Amino acid sequence: MNRIILASMSPRRKSLLSKFNAKLHVKGSFIEEYMDKDMSPEVNAMSLAFQKAEDVSKRVSKNDIIIAADTLVYKGRILGKPQDRREAYNMLKYLSGSVHSVFTGIAVMKTGSNIKVVDYEETKVEFRQLKDTLIEKYLDTGEYIDKAGSYGIQGKGAIFVKGIKGSYSNVVGLPIAKVDNILSEYFDIMLL
């Protein structure tokens, strides 16, 4: 069986995939993440995922299957990972009481072949109205660090979420149903 390489150091992505495939290997990508403001959020997410997969493909064996992903939050503009607490506060205030999109770009490729699949998933997330005190208490947890949009739905950030439309695992960082579909259709691998 081909080794499955997760091209991400994200503990959330690793946790999601580890439930399905015990032979998962993790190798981080070292690309510099750059977003082009002239491109759509889905194209940015897919481009970054593909760059991560390409980077990791240079450091693994032939016939390995690489899965890379990049998640971003979008509401009129791309909201990446916050630089500091102040930026995180501003993002959460901006998302308060409204609906935003979470895009995850996915790139799956088999090394030593021309099989490369790039796709994305979008999930709509509705936030309740957030009081300043709630935002500050959340920021005190430090959970916002290294999270697109400054929150983690799988953690304490769930308190902000009024509802979602689409894949929950996509908001966590990896749309499992879509990944399984790509693996089975193009690589003859099933996660279960």
84-97, pLDDT tens digit by residue? Answer: 999 999 999 999 99
User: Mean pLDDT across the stretch 124-153?
Assistant: 97
Q: Catalytic residue at 70?
A: yes
Q: Which domains, from first to last, does the chain contain? A: 4-187 (3.90.950.10)
98-108, pLDDT tens digit by residue? Answer: 999 999 999 99
Buried b (16+ CB within 10 A) or exposed e, 88-110: bbebbebbbeeebbbbbbbbbbb
φ, ψ of residue 125 in degrees (nearest 5) = -125, 130
If one compares 24 and 157, the residue with the highest pLDDT of the two is 157
Query: How distant, in Å, are the alpha carbons of 7, 52, 65, 151 from that of 27?
Result: 5, 10, 12, 24
Angle at CA of residue 50, ends 24 and 70, nearest 5°: 70
pLDDT at residue 49, rounded to an integer: 97
Q: Say which amino acid occupies 24.
A: L
CA-wise closest residue to 93 among 125, 136, 41, 35:
136
Banded pLDDT at 74 (limits 50, 70, 90): very high
Q: Please say if the pLDDT value at position 21 is more than 80.
A: no
Nearby residues of 130 by Cβ (< 8 Å), 6 or more positions away? 92, 93, 95, 96, 97, 160
Average pLDDT score over the chain: 94
Are the CB atoms for 95 and 122 separated by under 8 Å?
A: no
Q: Which of 36, 70, 140, 146 is catalytic?
A: 70
Q: Please say if the pLDDT value at position 22 is more than 70.
A: no
